[in-house]
């Protein structure tokens, strides 16, 4: 066949074929020559190849995929969700769920305890209702003028969830976001306005005595005292009472 009779496509394919065969032949010839070349020549060729590869790799841009940082809305939603999961209802042991709960509280999985604000109506023996629909008997283990803590029997099977950190007042900052889920199930946001001997003053509304307030990480800041809207009993008080050596301590409310 006359080459002038080839179409453009056939000419391109023929060129590719010739280049392919030439490159293979060149490679075979190069390897054959290197096998018979002095060691100094081989080392020089290897260094040239290595230097070329390093140059190409250095020039190639690094491709790093960064996961997007969570938005403020994502943090708020996750923190309130964690707070809601730990919320519990406290019933009288003798009547159970046939009567309304006497209080609400917060479950601390690591301590196997329920914490709530101290109230005269709190029973010594209670039935605790968890958000997963399970119930467990609990006994008033420790209390002071501000906080009451219920404990469970060692053999009781309790819901598994992440335990919150208890944020000390020294780690709070004025203007820091504080979140809470009220007794009626409504979510509220506010800020830390002031920290005093009376507790943590926030701009939260009345969220109900015993309701927990958390930070953007879902860690426990305090418990609603129920005296003044927005006033929280600090996590310091909870930590101290959990670490108390006596089973029950009492004091007179000023």
Distances (CA, A) of 214 to 21, 63, 98, 174, 246: 72, 38, 31, 15, 28
The whole-number pLDDT of residue 185 equals: 86
Select from 59, 85, 100 the last residue of a domain: 59
Work out whether the CA dihedral 46, 51, 57, 59 comes out positive or negative: negative
The whole-number pLDDT of residue 23 equals: 72
Contact between 200 and 172 (Cβ < 8 Å): yes
Please tell me whether residues 106 and 228 are part of one structural domain: yes
The whole-number pLDDT of residue 43 equals: 66
pTM (global) more than 0.75: no
Please tell me whether residues 51 and 90 are part of one structural domain: no
Please tell me whether residues 33 and 154 are part of one structural domain: no
Please tell me whether residues 164 and 208 are part of one structural domain: yes
In which domain, by residue range, is 150 found?
Answer: 72-242
Please tell me whether residues 145 and 40 are part of one structural domain: no
Residue 142 inside a domain? The answer is yes
Residues of the chain with pLDDT under 70: 1-6, 10-11, 14, 17-18, 20-21, 25-67, 245-254
Backbone phi, psi, residue 92, to 5°: -65, 135
Distances (CA, A) of 26 to 82, 144, 181: 68, 90, 76
Distance CA 148, CA 242 (A): 10
Angle at 216 (CA atoms; ends 193, 188), nearest 5 degrees: 65
Please tell me whether residues 108 and 218 are part of one structural domain: yes
The whole-number pLDDT of residue 245 equals: 47
The whole-number pLDDT of residue 19 equals: 75
């Amino acid at each position: 066949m006359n080459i002038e009779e080839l179409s453009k496509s056939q000419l391109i394919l023929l060129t590719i074929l010739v280049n392919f065969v030439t490159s293979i032949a060149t490679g075979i010839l190069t390897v054959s020559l290197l096998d018979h070349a002095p060691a100094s020549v081989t080392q020089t060729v290897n260094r040239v190849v290595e230097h070329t590869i390093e140059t190409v790799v250095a020039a190639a841009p690094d491709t790093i995929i960064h996961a997007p940082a969570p938005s403020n809305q994502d943090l708020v939603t996750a923190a309130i969700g964690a707070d809601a999961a730990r919320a519990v209802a406290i019933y009288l042991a003798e009547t159970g769920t046939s009567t309304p709960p006497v209080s609400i509280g917060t479950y601390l999985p690591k301590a196997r305890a329920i914490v709530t604000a101290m109230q005269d109506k709190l029973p010594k023996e209670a039935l605790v209702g968890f958000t997963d629909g399970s119930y467990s008997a609990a006994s008033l283990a420790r209390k002071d003028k501000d906080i009451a803590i219920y404990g469970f029997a060692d053999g009781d099977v309790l819901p598994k969830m992440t335990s919150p950190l208890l944020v000390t007042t020294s780690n709070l900052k004025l203007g820091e976001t504080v979140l809470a889920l009220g007794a009626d199930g409504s979510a509220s946001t506010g800020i830390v306005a002031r920290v005093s001997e009376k507790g943590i003053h926030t701009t939260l509304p009345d969220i109900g005595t015993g309701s927990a307030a958390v930070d953007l990480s879902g860690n426990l800041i305090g418990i609603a005292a129920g005296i003044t809207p927005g006033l929280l009993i600090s996590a310091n008080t909870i930590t101290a009472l959990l670490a108390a050596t006596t089973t029950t301590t009492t004091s007179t409310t000023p």
